[in-house]
Amino acid sequence: MTTPLLGQMMDVPLNVSSLIAHAARYHGTTGIVSRRIEGDIHRYTYRECEQRSKQLAQALMRLGITAGERIGTLAWNGYRHLEAYFGVTGFGAVCHTINPRLFPEQIAFIVNDADDRYVLFDTTFAPLVAQLAPLCPNVRGWVALTDEAHLADCASIAAPVLCYETLVAAEDGAFDWPVLDERSASNLCYTSGTTGHPKGALYSHRSSVLHAFGASLPDAMGLSSRDSVLPVVPMFHVNAWGIPHAAPLSGAKLVLPGKDLDGKSLFELMEAERVTFSAGVPTVWMGLLNHVRQQGTRFHSLERTVIGGSACPPAMLRAFEDDYGVRVIHAWGMTEMSPLGTLASLNWEQSQRPREAQHALLQKQGRAMFGVDMKIVGPDGAELPWDGVAFGDLHVRGPWVIDRYFRHDESPLVNGWFPTGDVATIDPDGFLNITDRSKDVIKSGGEWISSIDIENIAVAHPAVAEAACIACAHPRWTERPLLVVVKRAGKTVTRDELLAFYEGKVAKWWIPDDVVFVDELPHTATGKLQKLKLREVFRNHVLPTALGGECGGLGGS
Ligand code: AMP
């Protein structure tokens, strides 16, 4: 064995704190604008953000938090949440962003599984925290992201409530970020996955910084210090696709929209803050486009937008690109991938092709970014050709793809690759096209619904012998759940009775939009439900909510 000749460069660990330190030092006066829960617009700079993040770190250490411990957040996109991204991770604790749209029992499961020490929350979620507190006995305190004047909103919480502004104000921020092992954990996000219980993806400092580098590249989000960036994608959903890390890395201005994500509110903020770049799921863009159309107006500063989380509808791509001159970057990824995997942007040769051919490419989920390797495999595990026709299970690997789930010993990897649960083709251009999902979850408005949970409730009904819940196309929410039911012999139950049976058992927006009764469900030879076949059978099923009637979606959140 010969000793390798080592490079002679500095071995500086990649730490998340370096992102905000860089922005504070080199883009110190660049703005962070937030629409606050309190209703007003808050403005400050990267320099102030770093200062307060350090104060938060000191406050948490004073509360006894040590490296590796988890701090939960239940919050919208805002400057205090951003401070948690850096203040929690900067001294080695783990920032665990929690999706408040889940059912309280699920959130409690997540908080307990993560073993969160404290949970920071926006006061909009005070009623939720009041429900969670008795279910989460190991949480030492709940920190309201507000000042003393607004603490009264939290009176219903029967557990210790601390005031964020008071904690931060008690510290001086005179503190240097420690140098952490770059492989140590920085952020934790839970995904609904295919089984009932959500599972945690635990990112490292190294994976987060590398992902931020990758996300900023020109053929990815292409962020720069000339951008004003508005992430609509929530900071509680896979770290807002890495934007809170990539924006300070690039020195881009950040505009954080708070809780009002309707078309009018977003448009007004985009125009007022001269936003050039945004990112979100198709459902929010639908609302934004509707507003712009109704007002007969146009975008005056918006140049490009990432659409992902669910497939971007062709009409949306055309509307943004052709009607409004806004470049669409269709993206695919997942929680297990931090989340970015592929993005659709045309290279020089492709951009010389006729417009129709360009649209056909942009409609796909795009090319793997540097740092992500992908392949499609058949049922025997053999790799399939990149001909745009053969479709198979999509496997990925790379430095920001998970190796295993938090607290799960068994590896989800297959020969060193992570199986995504998506079914795809890859064309000779290297463009990925997601054609289906082998995992059974349903994605409504960018948020998961576990089909297994829905089925388990259905079969608990005395008149139901067997039930399958599948995704059905919906114009607003992209997908909504459809319940297909086989009744027990001699029993009767109506659609409405069955839907009423879900009340109080799951979040309202998890309740299926329709029920179809059938004589039998398709099964595989081993007795498993054939969801792919069922989805094929109901491909053209029109949900009553798709006709403009009452709408499920994310109602109430
Ligand atoms: P999440 O972990 O919540 O980010 O969800 C990841 C999953 O969302 C992927 O595995 C896909 O099933 C789906 N997904 C994400 N982006 C897209 C897209 N652009 N087109 C189709 N499906 C997508």
- At residue 434, the 3 state secondary structure works out as strand
210 in the same domain as 275: no
**Does residue 6 form part of some domain?**
no
Ligand 1 site-directed mutation target among 443, 448, 535, most atoms within 8 Å of CB: 443
* Active-site residue set: 191, 336, 443, 448
Q: How does DSSP classify residue 496? A: H
Mean pLDDT to the nearest integer, 261-286: 96
Question: Any idea which of 9-23, 65-79, 137-151, 536-550 has the lowest mean pLDDT?
Answer: 536-550
pLDDT digits (tens, 9 = 90+) for 478-493: 999 999 999 989 999 9
Whole-number Å distance between alpha carbons of 223 and 343: 14
85 in the same domain as 57: yes
Which residue has the CA at smallest separation from atom 4 of ligand 1? 334
- Residue 98 scores a pLDDT above 80: yes
| CA–centroid distance, residue 271 to ligand 1 (Å) | 29
Whole-number Å distance between alpha carbons of 394 and 375: 6
**Closest CA relative to residue 397, chosen from 344, 341, 436:** 341
pLDDT at site 8:
97
Phi-psi region of 383 (alpha: psi -120 to 50; beta: other; left: phi over 0): beta
Which of 394, 416, 439 marks a domain boundary? 439
Number of domain units in the chain: 3
**DSSP letter for each residue of 114-135:** HTEEEEEE-GGGHHHHHHHGGG
432 in the same domain as 451: no
Which of 413, 439, 465 marks a domain boundary? 439
Which residue has the CA at smallest separation from atom 7 of ligand 1? 334
Whole-number Å distance between alpha carbons of 383 and 366: 19
pLDDT at site 548:
65
506 in the same domain as 425: no
pLDDT at site 2:
84
Question: Helix (H) and strand (E) counts for the chain?
Answer: 16, 25
- Residue 81 scores a pLDDT above 50: yes
- Residue 266 scores a pLDDT above 70: yes
Whole-number Å distance between alpha carbons of 100 and 121: 10
**Does residue 59 form part of some domain?**
yes
- Residue 44 scores a pLDDT above 70: yes
Q: Residue 86 belongs to what domain range? A: 13-258
- Residue 217 scores a pLDDT above 70: yes
pLDDT digits (tens, 9 = 90+) for 140-172: 999 999 999 999 889 999 999 999 999 999 999
pLDDT at site 531:
84
222 in the same domain as 164: yes
**Does residue 235 form part of some domain?**
yes
543 in the same domain as 461: yes
**Closest CA relative to residue 61, chosen from 136, 168, 213, 139:** 168
* Pocket lined around ligand 1, Cβ cut-off 6 Å: 191, 238, 308-311, 330-332, 334-335, 339, 365, 420-422, 434, 437, 443, 448
Q: How many CB atoms lie within 10 A of CB 32?
A: 22
Ligand 1 site-directed mutation target among 110, 233, 310, most atoms within 8 Å of CB: 310
Mean pLDDT to the nearest integer, 283-307: 96
| Cβ contact 372:396 at 8 Å | yes
Higher pLDDT, 405 or 526: 405
For residue 553, name the pLDDT band (cuts at 50, 70, 90).
low
- Residue 440 scores a pLDDT above 50: yes
Percentage of the chain with pLDDT > 70?
97
- Residue 196 scores a pLDDT above 80: no
366 in the same domain as 267: yes
For residue 28, name the pLDDT band (cuts at 50, 70, 90).
very high
pLDDT at site 193:
57
473 in the same domain as 414: no
Q: How many CB atoms lie within 10 A of CB 68?
A: 10
pLDDT digits (tens, 9 = 90+) for 362-401: 999 999 999 999 999 998 999 999 999 999 999 999 999 9
| CA–centroid distance, residue 334 to ligand 1 (Å) | 6
Question: Any idea which of 207-216, 229-238, 335-344, 437-446 has the lowest mean pLDDT?
Answer: 437-446
pLDDT at site 557:
32
Which residue has the CA at smallest separation from atom 10 of ligand 1? 334
Collect all residues with Cβ–Cβ distance below 8 Å to 428 and sequence separation of at least 6: 386, 387, 388
Whole-number Å distance between alpha carbons of 313 and 306: 13
- Residue 424 scores a pLDDT above 70: yes
Which residue has the CA at smallest separation from atom 5 of ligand 1? 334
**Does residue 1 form part of some domain?**
no
228 in the same domain as 80: yes
pLDDT at site 58:
98
Crossing angle (nearest 10°) for helices 263-272 and 282-295: 80
- Residue 555 scores a pLDDT above 80: no
Q: Please, what is the Cα angle at 436 between 109 and 398, to 5 degrees? A: 65
| CA–centroid distance, residue 236 to ligand 1 (Å) | 16
- Residue 127 scores a pLDDT above 90: yes
Which residue has the CA at smallest separation from atom 9 of ligand 1? 334
| CA–centroid distance, residue 443 to ligand 1 (Å) | 8
215 in the same domain as 111: yes
pLDDT at site 556:
33
**Does residue 4 form part of some domain?**
no
**Does residue 451 form part of some domain?**
yes
**Does residue 396 form part of some domain?**
yes
81 in the same domain as 148: yes
| CATH code assigned at 216 | 3.40.50.12780
478 in the same domain as 542: yes
pLDDT at site 526:
65
Ligand 1 site-directed mutation target among 306, 334, 343, 535, most atoms within 8 Å of CB: 334
**Closest CA relative to residue 469, chosen from 419, 423, 506:** 506
pLDDT at site 550:
46
| CA–centroid distance, residue 366 to ligand 1 (Å) | 13
| CA–centroid distance, residue 171 to ligand 1 (Å) | 41
**Does residue 416 form part of some domain?**
yes
Given the DSSP bridges, would you call strands 514-517 and 392-397 parallel, antiparallel or unpaired? Answer: unpaired
Which residue has the CA at smallest separation from atom 6 of ligand 1? 334
For residue 551, name the pLDDT band (cuts at 50, 70, 90).
very low
Which of 233, 258, 283 marks a domain boundary? 258
